[in-house]
Every structure is written in structure tokens, then in C-alpha cells.
Amino acid sequence: MSDERARVLIENYFNGDPEAFEALMLLYLKPVYNFAYRYAGDVASAEDITQETFVKVWKNLKKFDRAKSFKTWIFTIAKNTAFDFLKKKKAIPFSAFDTDTGENMIADTLADPAPLPLELFEQKELSQMLERAVSALAPHYREVILLRYFEQFTFQEIADILKEPLDTVKSKSRRALIILRKSLHQ
């Protein structure tokens, strides 16, 4: 994705070409959706987050500073939208299913999620394990990992998106990788 291509499309849109915004959306739709899916963990939430992100982009496009990176700007909006969306979602804790005797009908019926040793060598299983481990990270670590390793942002771009110092982003990345390493080697 080229920021230069985005700038041209934005100029065309402001010069009266309504199809330019559609082209801009198509240019970033898949990466934003992929980020939202990895952040939220399910298709419906990812679709909602992606849609809301593009509505916000459309409403705020005039505020975009064209001297800056459009990719960074749109992913900042996507990250904030995903964070707000997940904050609104309420999780039901497993303890809500505890009976008076202390049994938990949900936890007691869950299968052991640990894969068989032979399955660990299959690429698909490794990928699934990694996705589970990433989704189990605290949100402030998960967003750094997703932006860095799944969306290929530089640490500086991530710092700009998160509005945090560069060293803080690097530190979060190191800590997240240590946590991931430990969880994958259990």
C-alpha cells in the first residue's frame, strides 16, 4: 500500500470524484479487516469494526494531515475503534456458570486444548496456537504485536498510531514476545 496512492485518491475525492473514496476504501479494506479480525477474534466483530472504521475515515477525511502517513492514520482509527468496540462488549466469566456445589458445567465439559505432539509440526496448528496466544495477550501488548508482525508497521509507525514514545512501544513488543514464548512452550 502506498501513501502516495492514498494521497492521490484523497485529492481526487476532494476534487469531486466520488469513486476515489471507494478506491481508497478498497485499497485499505482487507488490511483493516485483517487487523480488526485479529484484534477482535471473530468475523462479526471484525466486520463491525471495519465498517465503523471506514465511516469514521469518511467523516474525518478533511481533518487528515496530508503531510503525514495515511496508513498510520487509518490504522490509528482502526485500533481505537477496535478498542472501543471490545470495551463495550461484556464478557461472561466462567464463574457465572458455577453451581451451588462449586461445579462449573462449562469448564467441566471443555476439551483439553493442548494439541497432540504430532500436530504441533503442522503449520496450520502452529498458526492457530500462535493466534490463540496472541489473542490471550493483554490488549496493550496485543495491539503492538498485531501492528508489528501481522500488519508490518515499523516501531516508529506504531508509536505514532498509539501516540506513545518509541521506547515504550519497543519495550511492549519485547515483553509481549517473552509472554508469547512462555505460553507457546508450556
What domain range includes position 66?
Answer: 3-88
Residue 128 · residue 139 · CB < 8 Å: no
pTM: 0.60
Q: Report pLDDT digits (tens) over 73-117.
A: 999 999 999 988 888 875 555 555 555 565 654 555 454 555 444
Separation CA 102–CA 141 (nearest Å): 33
- Paired strand residues for 98: 104
Which domain CATH number covers 158?
Answer: 1.10.10.10
Report the candidate in 5, 61, 7, 53 with the shortest Cα–Cα distance to residue 30.
53
Q: pLDDT at position 120, please?
A: 40
Q: How many structural domains compose the chain?
A: 2
Same domain, 68 and 144: no
